[in-house]
Amino acid sequence: MGYVENVYVGKLGLEMKGKLDTGADSSSVFARDVHIYNKSGKDDWVRFRLVGKNGRTVRYDQNVRRFALIKLKTGGTIRRPVIHLPLCIGGVSGLAEVNLADREDFEYDFLVGREFMASRVLVDSSSTFIAEGSCEKDDSE
């Protein structure tokens, strides 16, 4: 796969432009309208929406698996909710642990980290959009 590929998120296969970043441990997605709340007085949940390449929006309401402290290039850290999302890239599918971020100032809405790519993907850092496999979507979501 190239270092930039289409990433299909969730059962509906929301198409997002993603960078396959071998320098990043974890995956990160540009989530909008993020709202963390406590459900039933026990678990943390998060409501958010993702916007695909074509402008299509999908809303999510998911259990927060954990919170990650992310190091900022400017120094310091930021606390982000981490969830599980099904992904498919070039016919390679799996469940990814993804932190929700404000990536508005970045070129890519989805950053795919090594945790998802390990033992699944070989990245050609000189190419983009070369993945040949297809991703199926389930319209029942």
Comparing 41 with 27, the larger pLDDT belongs to: 27
Residues 4-31: pLDDT tens digits? 999 999 988 999 999 999 999 999 999 9
Q: What is the pTM of this model?
A: 0.89
Mean pLDDT to the nearest integer, 68-77: 88
**98: its two tokens:** 């993804």
- Look up the domain containing 85 and give its range: 2-127
Q: What is the pLDDT of residue 71?
A: 83
Q: Rounded to whole angstroms, how far apart are CA atoms 98 and 86? A: 10
Average pLDDT over every residue of 102-117: 92
Inside any domain, residue 136: no
Q: Is residue 139 part of a domain?
A: no
- For residue 135, being part of any structural domain is answered with no
Residue 140 lies in a domain: no
β-bridge mates for residue 29, sequence order = 100, 110
Residue type for position 89: I
Please indicate, yes or no, if residue 9 is contained in any of the structural domains.
yes
Residue by residue, DSSP assigns 43-90 as EEEEEEEEE-TTS-EEEEEEE--EEEEEEPTTSSEEEEEEEEEEEEET
Please check whether residue 55 lies inside any domain of the structure. Answer: yes
Average pLDDT rounded to a whole number, residues 54-71: 94
Q: Which position has the higher pLDDT, 11 or 86?
A: 86
Mean pLDDT of 80-88: 96
Q: What is the CATH number of the domain that holds 112?
A: 2.40.70.10
Give the total number of structural domains in the chain. 1
